[in-house]
Structures are given as structure tokens and as C-alpha cells.
Amino acid sequence: MDPILKIENLTISFGGIRALNKVSFEVEKGAIYSIIGPNGAGKTTIFNCISGIYQPSSGKIFLKGEDITYLRPDQVAKKGIARTFQNIELFSHMSTMDNLMLGRHIHMKTGIWRGATFIYKGSKAAREEIEHRGKVEEVIDFLELQAARNQFVVNLPYGTRKLVELGRALALDPEVILLDEPSAGMNMEEKGDLMFSIQDIRDDLGITVLLVEHDMNLIMDVSDRILALNFGEKIAEGLPEEIQKHPEVLKAYLGEEEKVA
Amino acid sequence: MDIKRNYYEDIELFKSNTILVWSILFLIFLGILPWLIQKYHLLGMSIYIVNLITIHAIVAIGLNILVGYTGQISMGHAGFFALGAFTTVILILRWSFPLWVALPIAGFVSSAFGFILGLPALRLKGPYLAIATLGFGMTITTIIKHMEFFGGRMGLQAPRLYLFGTPMKDIHYYYVIMIIAVLMTIGAVKLIKTRVGRAFIAIRDSDIAAEAMGVNLTYYKTLAFAVSAFYTGIAGGLYAFILGFINPESFHLIMSITFLAMVVIGGLGSIMGSIAGAALMTFLDIKLQAIQDIPAIGPALVTFSQKYMSISGISNVAVIVYGLIMILIVLFEPLGIFGFWIRTKRYWKTWPF
Ligand SMILES: Nc1ncnc2c1ncn2[C@@H]1O[C@H](COP(=O)(O)OP(=O)(O)O)[C@@H](O)[C@H]1O
Ligand SMILES: [Mg+2]
């Protein structure tokens, strides 16, 4: 089977610093694929290249065989790739509901005229709103965000905001989802729930998951395959058991071994 | 838990019957307002002042869509206001278009310029965008001033309009302006609650996330400029007729800044706040010109000004008081009049407990 996502020799520099150097990997459809590495290894940079926020200096990114390397972020989203951010990027003065509704943006059509002039429940714009609110409600149920539904996200606790961001990405109905340190700042219980959610995202929703995480227990439990990076170089790739024992990985994490254990 | 939610509720204009009833009462109030003013001289208001307030409210709503909702600043809205005014007058004067055709065209001309201004604005943020839009406003008025087509420095006389054969007066304009304003207000409220409005707010709160969720930044940022300019252009067209005469000198930088002040003082990101801000600033601007009439403090202020500042005391004092009020409002109510309203509402909800 062809991989859903294929990264070829991805290279990017910032002012002389190679943040990524010829990184290649393939992600199978329906996999939970994790990227690990110490801070500054280039994990977020890979996500930024895939989602079109950064333009790599060389290398290619293919989604289902289609070259998406130089697409804009909004075009990448339309191709079916959604993401979350390491430092939450929510629309803080919108409610949870509206944040998730923005996730439906690409699936909706209402433009300026119809949006400003609809007058009753049967109008096209109103019908579309109602339909997509139904979809969003499913995501709210899936992540158990009912209590946060009508709250402004600025007023929500950190862990809940992380979930709202995940929900917004899910509302986009993506084929591939990129999660950048989703468990950061969560307590043990929240992390446990998150782990089940990530598995459900793959099992129930059929979405391919790319995961950047620091919590090694979570990584080892959920990942099908793992890519290990250090200083922008791929140092290892394989099954969780292989990565756990890999000498290069252990070396990169020297002083952090207790995490790998 | 299993109660099927009525999703329409979230975007409905009248969320409850109470709101519906109040809205109808408010419309009736607007309907009889001219009569009330003529009979009781509420707050010394005239129909002309109410018309001016209503026109400014349309501008403030348009500007708030850009500044408060999309997070892009403009210090050049007097330029769009001028474009709307001159386009309307010229269409009627030179080619005898009826008002109801000329006005929308003026709106679209203005929004086309808004779109053009929006393009360079894509690369600019904050203070840089402020300067670019300021340059735009100045350029527009300068071009108008130096082209014979627009009446040059002399400006243009707005043609007299007729309604069923009788010349239109302030009171007739009142109804024309008010109907347009009500429709445009409802349009703005609905727009903000649906897809396009959400995209605007998303760009304001996090453009990077908005883009990653599929919002085309180029399109929506320029669209916000175009919509904002459309509102302002329509308002400009109406302005020409209540003034009776337009002259490029009157669409100056201070006007652009006053528009911005209305939005900030009313409340960024609030349609109702825009209206309140426009009403307050317009009312103060006109009423403070007669500050010497306020018992006791009025004459004292004028004496102070004449003694320590200049002989033309009244305008000094008016500007200073106007400025002070602006400072006090943003200092004590950073969310503007809208913030004050929210707190009052909360207070009454829990009253008397
Ligand atoms: N926009 C940028 N400008 C300059 N340097 C950057 C930028 N983005 C990432 N980098 C650099 O690239 C390297 C990798 O960063 P990042 O991908 O964020 O690491 P992490 O693996 O912790 O997510 C770091 O050295 C970082 O400083
Ligand atoms: Mg990172």
C-alpha cells in the first residue's frame, strides 16, 4: 500500500542553522506515527513544513502521492491535513462552539451576502449553520467538551484548551492530523484520557495521526512507528521496541534516560 | 442530555420573545422619534443631529468589522467616506441616477478601493498599517481636491432630491437613513455570527491558526477591508445629502481618527457598541460647541480659556473636554460603552439579590 504521507529529504535552515537535514519518512494510512527528540531537534519544524507555514529549502512532501510541498497553509488544510500547535493557538475570544465551527470553515459555503441576509430557519445560510453545528456537536461529545461548549476559551483551564484545539482540528474532518505535544501541561488523569482519545481518533474516526510528544509512556503505548530526531537529523526510525533500545536514541536522551525507561 | 438542541438558536437574531418584543418597541420608537424630537426637544436634539448620528453609526459598524473583528487598523476611513459622498453626488448630478441606485454603486466603488487598499495591508501590521491607511485617506482627499471632475477645491452641491414630487427635507432623509442603518446593522450582526464573521474574528485572534484551519488570509483580510469600505461608502453618500454640500476639506485626518475613536469608545468587536460610540461622540462634538451655555461651569471655562489660551475660547474648551472624556472612558472602561453595558446587564440580572 502506498503511504498516505511521504516526506523526502526535507531540509530547511534558519540563518545558517540547519533545523532539518535531509529527513525522510513515510506514514501508512491509519497509523499513529510519533516523532521524538530533544528540544530543538526539529519536530515542530517538520509539522510547520507539512502544514505549509514554512517552505523547505529542499525536499518534498507528498500526500497520497500528490506533491503538497509548496502549498499555502489553507490549501494544505483543504487537502485534509489538520493540526494543533505546541503553544495553543486558539481563537481566545470565541466560544468553544465557534472555535470548532471554524474547523468546519472549508466544508461550508456561506459567503458575505448570504451570511448577512438570511432571515429564517429555512434559509440556505441558516440550514448550513444548523447542519454543521450538528457535526461539531459530535466532536464535542467525542471529546466530552459539553461543559465548555458555550464558554469563551480564554476562561477555560489549560488542559481543556488543549482539548478544544484538538476538537477544532477534528472538526475539519481531516485525513491526517498533526498533534504537537498534546499532553503538555496536562495532569495524569487528563493524559490518560488523551491517550484513549488518540487511539479513538485512529480506530473510530479512521484518521492518521502524527504525534510529537515528550511523554515516553504515552508514546510507547500508542505509537505504531516512531521517528527519532536530533539536531535536525534522523537518528532512528522503527517500532517502539526498536526505538526504545536504539543506542543513538539513548545517547540523544542521555541525562533524560529516566524518561525513556 | 438527550434533548435535541435547537442549533438555530445560536444564530437567531431574536433569541427570545422578550428580545423580539423589545426590538419591535425599539423600531416603533425609531418610527416616532422625529415627532418626539420636534415636540419635546429631547436633550436639545434636532433631526439633523439624529441623522448625523445614524450615518456615523453606519461608519462605526463598518470600521468595527475591520478593526474590532478582523484586527486590522485603519486611519483612512474618511477617504472611503469621501469616495461614497462624491460618487453618489456625481452619479445623481451628472447622470441623474436615482438615489437608490447611486447609493449602492457608491458603496461598491468605495469597497473596490477598500479591496485595493487591503492588498498592501496584507503585509502590514499595527503601526505600519496605521500609516499606510493614513496615507490612503490623505491621497484620496488630495486627488478629489485637485480634479475638476469632483468640483475641485470648491466641492459639490448635493442635488435636491424629490420624494413624490416634493423636495426631501431632514425628516424624509431621517427615514431613508434610518431604514438603511437598521438593515445594515442587522446585516452586520448576522454576518458576524456566520462563516465569514467567524473567519474575521479567527484572523484577529490567531491568523496562523486561522490559516492552518483553511481560512485564506489574503481573501478574508481584503474582504474585511472591502466590507468596511462598503459601509463607510454608503454612509458617505447619505452624508452628502444631509450636509447639502460636500467639499474635500471636510474629509480630513481628524475625521478618520474620530471614526476610530467612536469604535474604541463604543467597544471593539461590538456592533451595538459601535452605535453607542457613534452616538456619544457625535452628540458630544455638537453639544460641546455650545459649552458656554452649561450653567456655572460653562462661562467659567470660557473665561479660563480666554485668559490663558486664546480669544476664541469656546472651541479650545470644547476640544479639551472632548479629549478628556475620551481619555476617561478608555481609562475606566477599556471595553468601551459595550463593557459598561455588559456590567450593567449583569447587575440587573442579579438585582435585587
Ligand atoms: N522561525 C524560526 N526562526 C528561526 N529559527 C527557528 C524557527 N523555527 C525553528 N527554528 C529553529 O529550528 C530548530 C528546531 O526547532 P523546533 O522544530 O521548534 O524544535 P522542537 O523539536 O523542539 O519542536 C531550533 O534550533 C529552532 O531554534
Ligand atoms: Mg516543538
A3 and A75: one domain?
Answer: yes
Residue B49 domain-assigned (yes or no) = yes
Q: Is A111 exposed, middle or buried (0-12, 13-18, 19+ CB in 10 A)?
A: middle
Report the C-alpha gap between B10 and B5 in whole angstroms: 10
Instruction: Tell me the β-bridge partners of A33.
Output: A210, A225
A49 CA distance to ligand 1 middle (Å) = 11
Which of B287, B286, B288, B263 is CA-nearest to residue B276?
B263
Residue A22 lies in a domain: yes
Among B191, B195, B200, pick the best mutation site for testing chain A contact (most A Cβ within 10 A): B195
B271 lies within 8 A of chain A by CB: no
Q: Examine the pLDDT at A1 and tell me if it is beyond 70.
A: no
CA distance B212 to B209: 5
Q: What percent of chain A has pLDDT over 70?
A: 97
Residue A213 scores a pLDDT above 50 = yes
Same domain, A69 and A181: yes
| Whole-number pLDDT of residue B3 | 45
Residue of B nearest to A130 (CA): B7
Q: Does the beta carbon of B122 lie under 8 angstroms from any beta carbon of chain A?
A: no
A135 in the same domain as A114? yes
Tell me if B302 is assigned to some domain: no
pLDDT of A209 strictly over 60: yes
Q: What is the pLDDT of residue B4?
A: 47
Query: Dihedrals φ, ψ of B147, to 5°?
Result: -115, 125
Cα separation of A71 and A77, whole Å?
10
- Give me the pLDDT at residue B46, please: 87
Lowest mean pLDDT among A121-125, A231-235, B290-294: B290-294
Instruction: Considering only residues B166 and A106, tell me which one the structure prediction assigns the higher pLDDT.
Output: A106
State whether A181 and A76 are in the same domain.
yes
CATH number for position A130: 3.40.50.300
Asked whether residue A183 falls in the same domain as residue A168, the answer is: no
CA–centroid distance, A83 to ligand 2, in Å, is 13
Mutation for testing the B interface, residue in A75, A97, A129, A176 having most B CBs under 10 Å: A129
| CB contact (8 A) between residue A103 and residue B196 | no
Is the same domain home to A7 and A127?
no
Q: What is the C-alpha to C-alpha distance for residues A117 and B300, in angstroms, rounded to an integer?
A: 52
Which of residues A126, A147, A173 is at a domain's end? A173
Mean pLDDT of A212-225: 92
Say if residues B242 and B170 touch (Cβ distance below 8 Å).
Answer: yes
Interface test with A, best of B1, B7, B108 (most A CBs within 10 A): B7
What's the gap in Å between B245 CA and the centre of ligand 2?
Answer: 61
Flag whether B108 is in a domain.
yes
Substitution site in A14, A55, A83, A234 for ligand 1 pocket (most atoms within 8 Å of beta carbon): A14
Same-domain check for residues A23 and A66: yes
- Ligand 1 centre from A45 Cα, in Å? 6
Q: If residue A176 lies in a helix (H) or strand (E), which one and from where to where?
A: strand A176-180
- Based on the domain organization, do A150 and A215 belong to the same domain? no
CB contact under 8 A, A74 and B11: no
Which residues does chain B have with pLDDT short of 70? 1-9, 13, 292, 310-315, 345-353
Count other Cβ atoms within 10 Å, centred on residue B31.
11
Are A103 and A169 contained in the same domain? yes
A116 and B10 within 8 Å at the Cβ level: the answer is no
Domain carrying residue A71 = 1-80+174-256
Number of domains in chain B: 1
At A229, give phi and psi (nearest 5°): -120, 150
Would B225 be classed as within a structural domain? yes
Q: Which of A153, A173, A193 is the last residue of a domain?
A: A173
Q: How confident is the model at residue B16, as a pLDDT?
A: 74
Tell which residue, B110, B242, B251, has the closest CA to residue B176: B242
CB B283 within 8 A of CB B50: no
Check: CB of residue B128 under 8 Å from CB of residue B195: no
The nearest alpha carbon in chain B to A136 belongs to B7
pLDDT (0 to 100) of residue A261: 44
In a domain, B300, yes or no: no
Residue B344 included in any domain: no
Chain-chain contact of B194 with A77 (C-beta, under 8 angstroms): no
Domain extent at residue B102: 17-253
Say yes or no for a CB contact (<8 Å) between B7 and A133: yes
CB-CB contact of B195 with A105 (8 Å): yes
| Residue showing cell 439624529 | B50
Q: Are A135 and A180 within one domain?
A: no
Residue A162 and residue A178 in one domain: no
Instruction: Specify the higher pLDDT residue, B315 or A241.
Output: A241
Residue having the nearest C-alpha atom to atom 8 of ligand 1: A45
Pocket of ligand 1 (CB under 6 A): A 14, 17, 19, 37, 39-45
Quote the pLDDT of residue B75.
93
**Within-domain flag for B41:** yes
Q: Which amino acid is at B273?
A: G
Q: State which of A125, A140, A173 marks the end of a domain.
A: A173
Tell me the best of A11, A23, A44, A83 to mutate to test the pocket of ligand 1, counting ligand atoms within 8 Å of each CB and taking the most. A44
Tens digits of per-residue pLDDT, A167-205? Answer: 999 999 999 999 999 998 888 999 999 999 999 999 999
B chain contacts of residue A106, beta-carbon cutoff 8 Å: 213-214
Q: Give the model's pLDDT for residue B151.
A: 75
Closest residue CA from atom 26 of ligand 1: A40
Interface confidence (ipTM) of the complex: 0.92
In a domain, B246, yes or no: yes
Q: In A, which residues are within 8 Å of B214 by CB distance? A: 74, 77-78, 105-106, 172
A168 and A181 share one domain: no
Bridge-partner residues for A60, per DSSP? A8
Contacts of A112 in chain B (CB under 8 A): 191, 196, 223, 227
Predicted pLDDT of residue B331: 85
Query: In chain A, how many domains are there?
Result: 2
**Which ranges constitute the DSSP H helices of B124-216?**
126-145, 170-193, 195-205, 207-212
Q: Say if residue A42's pLDDT is above 90.
A: yes
